[in-house]
Amino acid sequence: MKRTFAILSVLSLALAVNTVAFGATSSTPKPEHLTKQQLNTLISTARTSADHERIAQYYQAKAADYLAQAKDHEAMIAAYKANPVMSNDKNQASTISHCQYFVQTFKALAENSQVLAANHERMAADAPQKLIPAGN
């Protein structure tokens, strides 16, 4: 009976996390998707305000994604702590500590992405609106 309850609790937790994750991603507009190669090319060739704005938007989207993942892991911590079957010492190390690690990691990644976005926003403000072709 305890095993069945534990399995049902884990399945309920997974469903709740998926619901939260789906709700968080579907309510925000999707920014332009850049592959890593496209981002690296854009970073190495960025000259105009629009180029730096695209890079800033990429990092803002990454920061939002990282914060959503941190929030998901915070919700899992709360769910594990609320379930007496799952919050024993054995599960503490394998579940709650795991989630706490990812909360810290994703928040740090979000902070770094926000710094990069702010840097590119400053570069966008300092860059020309568009390049004027030579000879004009």
Domain boundaries in the chain? 2-19+34-126
pLDDT digits (tens), the chain, 136 positions: 455 444 445 445 545 555 544 444 444 456 678 999 999 999 999 999 999 999 999 999 999 999 999 999 999 999 888 887 776 777 777 888 899 999 999 999 999 999 999 999 999 999 887 766 656 5
119 burial level (CB within 10 Å; 0-12, 13-18, 19+): middle
50 burial level (CB within 10 Å; 0-12, 13-18, 19+): middle
**Reported pTM:** 0.71
Q: Tell me what pLDDT residue 10 has.
A: 45
Q: Tell me what pLDDT residue 52 has.
A: 94
Q: Tell me what pLDDT residue 44 has.
A: 95
For CA atoms 21, 27, 28, 31, give the dihedral sign: positive
Task: Provide the token pair at 71.
Answer: 């929030």
Distance of CA 65 to the CA centre of its chain: 2
Q: Tell me what pLDDT residue 2 has.
A: 55
Residue 19 identity:
T
